[in-house]
Structure 1
Amino acid sequence: MPQVIRAYVRYVDAVNRAVGRFAMCLIFVMMGILLYSSISKTFFVPALWTMEMAQFTMVAYYLLGGSYSMQMGTHVRMDLLYGMWSDRTKAWVDCFTIFFLIFYLGVLLYGGFNSTEYSLQYGERSNSAWRPYLGPIKIIACIGIFLMLLQAFAMLFKDIAKIKGEEL
Protein backbone atom coordinates (compact mmCIF):
# COMPACT_ATOMS: atom_id res chain seq x y z
CA MET A 1 0.00 0.00 0.00
CA PRO A 2 1.24 3.54 -0.71
CA GLN A 3 2.74 5.45 2.18
CA VAL A 4 0.01 8.11 2.08
CA ILE A 5 -2.69 5.46 2.67
CA ARG A 6 -0.68 3.95 5.51
CA ALA A 7 -0.36 7.42 7.07
CA TYR A 8 -4.09 8.07 6.59
CA VAL A 9 -5.05 4.80 8.29
CA ARG A 10 -2.61 5.42 11.15
CA TYR A 11 -3.84 8.99 11.67
CA VAL A 12 -7.56 8.13 11.48
CA ASP A 13 -7.09 5.18 13.84
CA ALA A 14 -5.22 7.38 16.33
CA VAL A 15 -7.82 10.16 16.23
CA ASN A 16 -10.74 7.75 16.55
CA ARG A 17 -9.02 5.89 19.38
CA ALA A 18 -8.57 9.15 21.32
CA VAL A 19 -12.11 10.36 20.62
CA GLY A 20 -13.52 6.92 21.46
CA ARG A 21 -11.68 6.78 24.77
CA PHE A 22 -13.09 10.22 25.60
CA ALA A 23 -16.57 9.09 24.57
CA MET A 24 -16.32 6.15 26.98
CA CYS A 25 -16.24 8.65 29.84
CA LEU A 26 -19.49 10.25 28.71
CA ILE A 27 -21.47 7.32 30.12
CA PHE A 28 -20.30 8.38 33.57
CA VAL A 29 -21.33 11.96 32.86
CA MET A 30 -24.76 10.72 31.86
CA MET A 31 -25.00 8.59 35.00
CA GLY A 32 -24.09 11.63 37.10
CA ILE A 33 -26.78 13.72 35.41
CA LEU A 34 -29.39 11.02 35.98
CA LEU A 35 -28.29 10.58 39.60
CA TYR A 36 -28.62 14.32 40.13
CA SER A 37 -32.06 14.15 38.51
CA SER A 38 -33.19 11.44 40.90
CA ILE A 39 -31.87 13.25 43.96
CA SER A 40 -33.33 16.61 42.93
CA LYS A 41 -36.76 15.06 42.28
CA THR A 42 -36.73 13.30 45.64
CA PHE A 43 -35.36 15.98 47.92
CA PHE A 44 -35.47 19.30 46.08
CA VAL A 45 -37.24 21.03 43.23
CA PRO A 46 -36.98 18.89 40.07
CA ALA A 47 -34.49 20.26 37.55
CA LEU A 48 -35.87 20.93 34.09
CA TRP A 49 -32.62 20.28 32.26
CA THR A 50 -31.59 16.82 33.47
CA MET A 51 -33.48 14.47 31.16
CA GLU A 52 -32.71 16.39 27.99
CA MET A 53 -29.07 16.85 28.98
CA ALA A 54 -28.82 13.09 29.61
CA GLN A 55 -30.24 12.51 26.13
CA PHE A 56 -27.72 14.92 24.58
CA THR A 57 -24.91 13.15 26.45
CA MET A 58 -26.15 9.80 25.16
CA VAL A 59 -26.18 11.13 21.59
CA ALA A 60 -22.58 12.30 21.99
CA TYR A 61 -21.59 8.98 23.59
CA TYR A 62 -23.18 6.96 20.80
CA LEU A 63 -22.03 9.01 17.80
CA LEU A 64 -18.51 9.87 18.99
CA GLY A 65 -17.92 6.26 20.05
CA GLY A 66 -19.24 4.74 16.82
CA SER A 67 -16.01 5.08 14.87
CA TYR A 68 -14.01 3.59 17.75
CA SER A 69 -16.30 0.58 17.97
CA MET A 70 -16.00 0.16 14.20
CA GLN A 71 -12.22 0.30 14.52
CA MET A 72 -12.23 -2.30 17.30
CA GLY A 73 -14.61 -4.58 15.38
CA THR A 74 -17.24 -4.55 18.13
CA HIS A 75 -20.20 -3.56 15.97
CA VAL A 76 -23.01 -6.09 15.77
CA ARG A 77 -22.76 -8.41 12.75
CA MET A 78 -25.08 -10.96 11.27
CA ASP A 79 -22.87 -14.01 11.67
CA LEU A 80 -24.68 -16.79 9.83
CA LEU A 81 -21.90 -17.44 7.34
CA TYR A 82 -19.33 -14.72 8.07
CA GLY A 83 -17.73 -16.53 11.01
CA MET A 84 -16.92 -19.60 8.89
CA TRP A 85 -15.15 -17.69 6.14
CA SER A 86 -11.41 -17.16 5.85
CA ASP A 87 -9.97 -13.72 6.63
CA ARG A 88 -9.45 -13.06 2.94
CA THR A 89 -13.08 -13.90 2.07
CA LYS A 90 -14.24 -11.68 4.92
CA ALA A 91 -12.11 -8.87 3.51
CA TRP A 92 -13.68 -9.31 0.04
CA VAL A 93 -17.19 -9.20 1.46
CA ASP A 94 -16.31 -6.23 3.68
CA CYS A 95 -14.86 -4.38 0.67
CA PHE A 96 -18.20 -4.78 -1.08
CA THR A 97 -20.49 -3.98 1.84
CA ILE A 98 -18.48 -0.99 3.11
CA PHE A 99 -19.70 0.99 0.10
CA PHE A 100 -23.27 0.74 1.42
CA LEU A 101 -22.06 2.12 4.75
CA ILE A 102 -20.10 4.91 3.05
CA PHE A 103 -23.17 5.87 0.99
CA TYR A 104 -25.38 5.84 4.10
CA LEU A 105 -22.93 7.92 6.14
CA GLY A 106 -22.50 10.35 3.24
CA VAL A 107 -26.26 10.92 3.00
CA LEU A 108 -26.49 11.18 6.79
CA LEU A 109 -23.65 13.72 6.90
CA TYR A 110 -25.22 15.77 4.11
CA GLY A 111 -28.51 15.91 6.00
CA GLY A 112 -26.68 16.62 9.24
CA PHE A 113 -24.86 19.58 7.71
CA ASN A 114 -28.10 21.01 6.35
CA SER A 115 -29.85 20.54 9.69
CA THR A 116 -26.94 22.05 11.60
CA GLU A 117 -26.77 25.03 9.24
CA TYR A 118 -30.50 25.64 9.72
CA SER A 119 -30.18 25.27 13.47
CA LEU A 120 -27.32 27.75 13.72
CA GLN A 121 -28.84 30.22 11.28
CA TYR A 122 -32.22 30.41 13.01
CA GLY A 123 -31.21 29.67 16.60
CA GLU A 124 -33.30 26.49 16.72
CA ARG A 125 -34.30 25.47 20.21
CA SER A 126 -35.86 22.37 21.70
CA ASN A 127 -39.60 22.38 22.41
CA SER A 128 -39.12 21.35 26.03
CA ALA A 129 -39.52 23.57 29.09
CA TRP A 130 -35.73 24.01 29.27
CA ARG A 131 -35.49 25.07 25.59
CA PRO A 132 -31.76 24.54 24.93
CA TYR A 133 -30.20 25.50 21.61
CA LEU A 134 -29.87 22.47 19.34
CA GLY A 135 -26.87 23.70 17.36
CA PRO A 136 -24.15 22.29 19.66
CA ILE A 137 -25.54 18.76 19.74
CA LYS A 138 -26.04 18.81 15.98
CA ILE A 139 -22.40 19.86 15.53
CA ILE A 140 -21.31 16.95 17.74
CA ALA A 141 -23.52 14.60 15.71
CA CYS A 142 -21.91 15.80 12.45
CA ILE A 143 -18.43 15.34 13.91
CA GLY A 144 -19.30 11.79 14.99
CA ILE A 145 -20.74 10.91 11.57
CA PHE A 146 -17.69 12.42 9.83
CA LEU A 147 -15.33 10.38 12.03
CA MET A 148 -17.30 7.23 11.18
CA LEU A 149 -16.99 8.07 7.48
CA LEU A 150 -13.22 8.51 7.84
CA GLN A 151 -13.03 5.20 9.72
CA ALA A 152 -15.07 3.45 7.02
CA PHE A 153 -12.50 4.49 4.41
CA ALA A 154 -9.71 3.34 6.73
CA MET A 155 -11.44 -0.03 7.09
CA LEU A 156 -11.75 -0.24 3.29
CA PHE A 157 -8.02 0.36 2.92
CA LYS A 158 -7.28 -2.26 5.59
CA ASP A 159 -9.45 -4.80 3.80
CA ILE A 160 -7.79 -4.06 0.43
CA ALA A 161 -4.39 -4.58 2.08
CA LYS A 162 -5.62 -7.83 3.60
CA ILE A 163 -6.74 -9.06 0.17
CA LYS A 164 -3.28 -8.23 -1.20
CA GLY A 165 -1.69 -10.15 1.68
CA GLU A 166 -0.37 -7.03 3.41
CA GLU A 167 -1.11 -5.71 6.86
CA LEU A 168 -1.79 -2.07 7.71
Structure 2
Amino acid sequence: MELEEVLRVLDRLDEAGVSLCVGGGWGVDALLGRPSRDHRDLDLLVDATAFEEAVETLAALGYARETDWLPVRLEVAAPGRGWVDLHPVDVDAGGHGVQQGPAGTTYEDAAGDRTLGTLGGRPVPCLTRQAQLRLHAGYDPRPQDRADLALLRSLDDD
Protein backbone atom coordinates (compact mmCIF):
# COMPACT_ATOMS: atom_id res chain seq x y z
CA MET A 1 0.00 0.00 0.00
CA GLU A 2 1.51 3.29 -1.09
CA LEU A 3 1.79 6.39 1.10
CA GLU A 4 -0.46 8.37 -1.27
CA GLU A 5 -3.26 5.84 -0.77
CA VAL A 6 -2.78 5.82 3.01
CA LEU A 7 -3.13 9.61 3.08
CA ARG A 8 -6.21 9.47 0.85
CA VAL A 9 -7.85 6.94 3.20
CA LEU A 10 -6.94 8.95 6.31
CA ASP A 11 -8.16 12.21 4.76
CA ARG A 12 -11.54 10.70 3.79
CA LEU A 13 -12.04 9.10 7.19
CA ASP A 14 -11.12 12.39 8.86
CA GLU A 15 -13.63 14.25 6.65
CA ALA A 16 -16.28 11.69 7.73
CA GLY A 17 -15.48 12.39 11.39
CA VAL A 18 -14.20 8.89 12.12
CA SER A 19 -12.04 8.74 15.25
CA LEU A 20 -9.09 6.43 14.61
CA CYS A 21 -5.53 5.54 15.49
CA VAL A 22 -2.91 4.09 13.12
CA GLY A 23 -1.15 0.93 14.25
CA GLY A 24 0.97 -1.75 12.62
CA GLY A 25 3.73 -0.92 10.17
CA TRP A 26 2.28 2.43 9.13
CA GLY A 27 1.99 3.30 12.84
CA VAL A 28 5.71 2.64 13.20
CA ASP A 29 6.37 4.78 10.14
CA ALA A 30 4.22 7.59 11.59
CA LEU A 31 6.45 7.57 14.68
CA LEU A 32 9.51 7.70 12.41
CA GLY A 33 7.95 10.42 10.25
CA ARG A 34 8.69 8.52 7.05
CA PRO A 35 7.98 5.23 5.28
CA SER A 36 10.51 2.56 6.25
CA ARG A 37 9.37 -0.41 4.15
CA ASP A 38 6.66 -1.69 1.83
CA HIS A 39 3.29 -2.31 3.47
CA ARG A 40 0.50 -4.67 2.43
CA ASP A 41 -2.15 -2.91 4.53
CA LEU A 42 -3.07 -0.04 6.80
CA ASP A 43 -4.05 -1.07 10.35
CA LEU A 44 -6.58 1.25 11.98
CA LEU A 45 -8.07 1.18 15.46
CA VAL A 46 -11.50 2.72 14.94
CA ASP A 47 -13.90 3.98 17.58
CA ALA A 48 -16.68 1.36 17.51
CA THR A 49 -19.38 4.05 17.42
CA ALA A 50 -18.02 5.20 14.04
CA PHE A 51 -17.18 1.75 12.68
CA GLU A 52 -20.01 1.51 10.14
CA GLU A 53 -19.27 5.08 8.99
CA ALA A 54 -15.66 3.99 8.40
CA VAL A 55 -16.76 0.95 6.38
CA GLU A 56 -19.17 3.08 4.29
CA THR A 57 -16.52 5.75 3.71
CA LEU A 58 -14.03 3.15 2.53
CA ALA A 59 -16.68 1.52 0.31
CA ALA A 60 -17.13 4.90 -1.41
CA LEU A 61 -13.37 4.78 -2.13
CA GLY A 62 -13.72 1.35 -3.75
CA TYR A 63 -12.85 -0.85 -0.77
CA ALA A 64 -14.92 -4.03 -0.38
CA ARG A 65 -15.23 -6.39 2.58
CA GLU A 66 -12.75 -9.23 2.27
CA THR A 67 -11.94 -10.80 5.65
CA ASP A 68 -14.68 -10.52 8.26
CA TRP A 69 -13.53 -11.63 11.72
CA LEU A 70 -15.78 -9.23 13.59
CA PRO A 71 -15.91 -8.31 16.38
CA VAL A 72 -12.09 -8.61 16.23
CA ARG A 73 -11.38 -7.07 12.81
CA LEU A 74 -12.66 -6.42 9.32
CA GLU A 75 -10.32 -6.22 6.36
CA VAL A 76 -11.42 -4.34 3.27
CA ALA A 77 -9.57 -4.34 -0.06
CA ALA A 78 -9.32 -2.15 -3.13
CA PRO A 79 -7.76 -4.10 -6.01
CA GLY A 80 -4.36 -2.74 -6.94
CA ARG A 81 -4.39 -0.22 -4.08
CA GLY A 82 -4.19 -2.25 -0.88
CA TRP A 83 -6.05 -3.35 2.21
CA VAL A 84 -7.33 -1.54 5.27
CA ASP A 85 -7.54 -3.64 8.43
CA LEU A 86 -10.19 -2.11 10.71
CA HIS A 87 -10.17 -2.96 14.43
CA PRO A 88 -13.26 -1.69 16.33
CA VAL A 89 -12.46 -0.30 19.77
CA ASP A 90 -15.05 0.53 22.46
CA VAL A 91 -13.84 3.86 23.87
CA ASP A 92 -15.21 5.33 27.11
CA ALA A 93 -15.54 9.02 28.03
CA GLY A 94 -12.03 9.00 29.54
CA GLY A 95 -10.44 7.77 26.32
CA HIS A 96 -9.82 4.21 27.55
CA GLY A 97 -10.54 1.63 24.86
CA VAL A 98 -11.14 -2.09 24.74
CA GLN A 99 -10.62 -4.09 21.58
CA GLN A 100 -11.93 -7.63 21.17
CA GLY A 101 -9.28 -10.24 20.47
CA PRO A 102 -9.44 -13.84 19.29
CA ALA A 103 -11.02 -16.53 21.46
CA GLY A 104 -12.66 -14.03 23.82
CA THR A 105 -9.48 -12.15 24.70
CA THR A 106 -9.36 -8.35 24.87
CA TYR A 107 -6.74 -5.68 24.35
CA GLU A 108 -6.66 -2.58 26.52
CA ASP A 109 -6.09 0.75 24.79
CA ALA A 110 -5.41 3.53 27.28
CA ALA A 111 -5.70 7.15 26.18
CA GLY A 112 -1.97 7.43 26.92
CA ASP A 113 -1.26 4.77 24.28
CA ARG A 114 -1.93 7.30 21.53
CA THR A 115 0.22 10.07 20.17
CA LEU A 116 0.66 12.09 16.98
CA GLY A 117 3.07 10.99 14.31
CA THR A 118 3.63 12.21 10.78
CA LEU A 119 3.14 10.65 7.35
CA GLY A 120 3.82 12.67 4.22
CA GLY A 121 3.92 15.85 6.31
CA ARG A 122 0.42 15.13 7.67
CA PRO A 123 -0.15 14.74 11.43
CA VAL A 124 -1.42 11.21 12.07
CA PRO A 125 -2.93 9.81 15.28
CA CYS A 126 -0.97 6.64 16.02
CA LEU A 127 -0.02 4.24 18.77
CA THR A 128 2.94 5.19 20.96
CA ARG A 129 6.24 3.37 20.80
CA GLN A 130 5.47 1.51 24.04
CA ALA A 131 2.00 0.46 22.85
CA GLN A 132 3.48 -0.81 19.58
CA LEU A 133 6.12 -2.79 21.47
CA ARG A 134 3.41 -4.38 23.66
CA LEU A 135 1.35 -5.33 20.60
CA HIS A 136 4.37 -7.02 19.00
CA ALA A 137 4.83 -9.30 22.04
CA GLY A 138 3.37 -12.77 22.44
CA TYR A 139 3.73 -14.18 18.95
CA ASP A 140 6.50 -15.33 16.61
CA PRO A 141 7.50 -12.23 14.64
CA ARG A 142 7.54 -12.28 10.86
CA PRO A 143 10.45 -10.58 9.03
CA GLN A 144 8.50 -7.30 8.76
CA ASP A 145 7.68 -7.49 12.49
CA ARG A 146 11.39 -7.89 13.30
CA ALA A 147 12.16 -4.85 11.13
CA ASP A 148 9.44 -2.83 12.88
CA LEU A 149 10.68 -3.91 16.32
CA ALA A 150 14.23 -2.84 15.49
CA LEU A 151 12.97 0.59 14.41
CA LEU A 152 10.78 0.94 17.51
CA ARG A 153 13.71 0.05 19.77
CA SER A 154 15.82 2.73 18.05
CA LEU A 155 13.31 5.45 18.94
CA ASP A 156 13.21 7.40 22.20
CA ASP A 157 10.01 7.47 24.25
CA ASP A 158 8.21 10.79 23.96
In which range does the TM-score fall when normalised by the shorter chain?
under 0.3
Structure (1/2) with the larger helix percentage: 1
Structure (1/2) with the larger strand percentage: 2
TM-score, with structure 2 as normaliser = 0.25
Q: Name the larger-Rg structure.
A: 1
